Amino acid sequence: EPDAAMHARIARRVAELRAVEGGNLAARLHVLPDFHGNRSPLADPHAVGVISGLTLESSFDSLCKLYWRTAVSIALGVRHVLEALNENGYLIDTLHVTGGHTKNPLLMELYADATGCTVVEPLADEAVLLGTGMIAATAAGLFPDLNAACVAMQQGGKTREPNSAAAGRFDRDYRVFLEMHRQRQALDEIR
């Protein structure tokens, strides 16, 4: 059952498998995570997810490998969004992550390594609520503008730098990720 204990068990096993297999863990398994459409950067609500490289294996380790590759694909999806933004005049090299993903150390590691960005994890337990408080304090006139409220109320964060040794592996995975998008679109166009 998908509960906190099972999630912790999967995360532990993924760490063990990575310690043994390193960057080759499930290297032929790839996930395109658009099972609920693609919000960004493709803005295609009809996009579908794709899993390539499945075998008939049904062990716990196979579940852990699929979990690992799904986490990689989520991070590659963030990279896809960042690449689109940076190609349109932005220069994003730091991610400030809030919400539930901050409770998953694997995702935080992948966000840094797969995107090449510095990742800042908030110290506040509820960073989204802190942001809401900053807006409310500004609206109440406690600060002259939102920037002043943010500076005064910020609580800092834990910084995670990307592992440059992992860049080649994720560059390869990203090329596969983009090709999967292209092939899925080509399949949709066949009439």
DSSP 51-108: EES--S--SHHHHHHHHHHHHHHHHHHHHHHHHHHHHTT----EEE--SGGGG-HHHH
> Does 3.40.50.11260 match the CATH number of domain 4-88+167-189?
no
What percent of the chain lies above the pLDDT cut of 70?
100
Report the predicted TM-score, pTM, of the whole model to 2 decimal places.
0.88
Instruction: Give the tens place of pLDDT for each residue, 69-86.
Output: 999 999 999 999 999 999
Domain ranges of the chain: 4-88+167-189
